[in-house]
């Protein structure tokens, strides 16, 4: 019987952003916080991410060759668990950059399957968010906004209710538009992601059984906090 799972999830994509903008997105705290989960800090030797009221394992930076190569990795736990990220940046011209991004690691134990499924879906969402950020918000620092709902017993009903509340069909796909002008940019069985002019809105099936709103907001200079408070209460 299997006692663990090695994994690797990655993308290779050409984005309409310069290498310096891509580097800022993957190698600085403000940049990573604009597409990943929670809030990230990069202090020169360590990457730390806080999410859900706690801290994820800190990662040591293993490569920092600006602007071509950035990588970091958690220590290997006694049970073999670790997670690593690597980003390769290749400028093509002033307006296009090839980004190769991969997360790899090891999940220990015989019951790794559920965690692997959730992690794979989550990483695919985060990398899709990174691409969307670079295409539409490059160079801007977003504010992560995270909220946890109660435990969900019936996920089919929960997703259906969310889709109705957002004005989407029962099975939304990338390119679908909400009544208030948002555009779906990613879906999978565990997530729904929408881009608006002001932010990247993500709804996630949390591994702990609750639905998580993990948004990144890019408010206009003249926008007050009240509008976003009202938005979050409404959704």
Mean pLDDT of the 190-204 span: 97
Mean pLDDT of the 76-98 span: 93
Helix (H) / strand (E) element for 33: namely none
Show the tokens assigned to 34: 């604009």
pLDDT score of 221 more than 90: no
Q: Which residue has the tokens 């997530």?
A: 191
Report how far apart, in Å, the C-alpha atoms of 92 and of each of 16, 28, 97, 217 are.
10, 22, 5, 29
pLDDT score of 207 more than 90: no
Query: What is the spatial distance between Cα 233 and Cα 180, in angstroms, rounded to a whole number?
Result: 16
Q: Which residue has the tokens 């800022």?
A: 24
Report how far apart, in Å, the C-alpha atoms of 108 and of each of 32, 34, 116, 144 are.
27, 30, 10, 30
Q: What is the pLDDT of residue 93?
A: 72
Show the tokens assigned to 121: 């879906």
Q: Where are the domains of the chain?
A: 1-141, 142-235
The pLDDT-based confidence of 1 (bands split at 50, 70, 90) is very low
Q: What is the pLDDT of residue 201?
A: 98
CB 146 within 8 A of CB 214: yes
pLDDT score of 72 more than 50: yes
First-to-last alpha carbon distance for the chain, in angstroms, is 43
* Rg of the Cα atoms in the chain: 18
Mean pLDDT of the 122-130 span: 98
Show the tokens assigned to 90: 């290749």
Torsion angle defined by CA atoms of residues 49, 53, 56 and 61, in that order, rounded to the nearest 10 degrees = 20
Q: What is the pLDDT of residues 138-174, one digit of tens each?
A: 999 999 999 999 999 999 999 999 999 999 999 999 9
Query: What is the spatial distance between Cα 178 and Cα 175, in angstroms, rounded to a whole number?
Result: 10
Mean pLDDT of the 92-100 span: 87
Angle between helices 112-136 and 19-27 (to 10 degrees): 140
CATH superfamily of 1-141: START domain (3.30.530.20)
The pLDDT-based confidence of 197 (bands split at 50, 70, 90) is very high
Q: What is the mean pLDDT of the chain?
A: 92
Sign for the CA dihedral angle at 202, 208, 211, 217 comes to negative
Mean pLDDT of the 212-229 span: 70
Q: What is the pLDDT of residue 225?
A: 47
Cβ of 65: how many Cβ atoms within 10 Å?
Answer: 12
Nearest alpha carbon to residue 15 among 98, 120, 83, 78: 98
pLDDT score of 132 more than 90: yes
Q: What is the pLDDT of residue 95?
A: 77
């Amino acid at each position: 019987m299997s006692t663990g799972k090695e994994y690797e999830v990655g993308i290779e994509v050409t984005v309409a952003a310069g290498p310096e903008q891509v580097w800022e997105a993957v190698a600085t705290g403000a940049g990573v916080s604009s597409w990943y989960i929670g809030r990230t800090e990069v202090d020169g030797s360590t990457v730390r991410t806080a999410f859900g009221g706690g801290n994820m394992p800190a990662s040591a930076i293993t490569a920092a060759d600006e602007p071509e190569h950035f990588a970091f990795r958690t220590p290997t736990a006694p049970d073999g668990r670790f997670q690593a990220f690597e980003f390769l940046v290749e400028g093509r011209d002033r307006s296009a950059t090839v980004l190769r991004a991969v997360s790899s690691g090891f999940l220990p134990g015989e019951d790794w399957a559920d965690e692997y499924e959730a992690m794979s879906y989550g990483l695919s969402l985060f990398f899709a968010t990174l691409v969307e950020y670079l295409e539409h918000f490059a160079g801007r620092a977003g504010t992560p906004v995270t909220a946890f709902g109660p435990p969900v017993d019936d996920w089919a009903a929960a997703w259906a209710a969310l889709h109705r509340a957002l004005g989407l069909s029962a099975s939304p796909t990338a390119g679908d538009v909400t009544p208030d002008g948002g555009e779906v940019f990613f879906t999978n069985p565990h997530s729904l992601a929408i881009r608006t002019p002001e932010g990247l809105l993500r709804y996630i099936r949390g591994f702990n059984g609750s639905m998580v709103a993990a948004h990144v907001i890019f408010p206009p200079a003249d926008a007050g906090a009240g509008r976003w408070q009202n938005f979050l209460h409404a959704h």
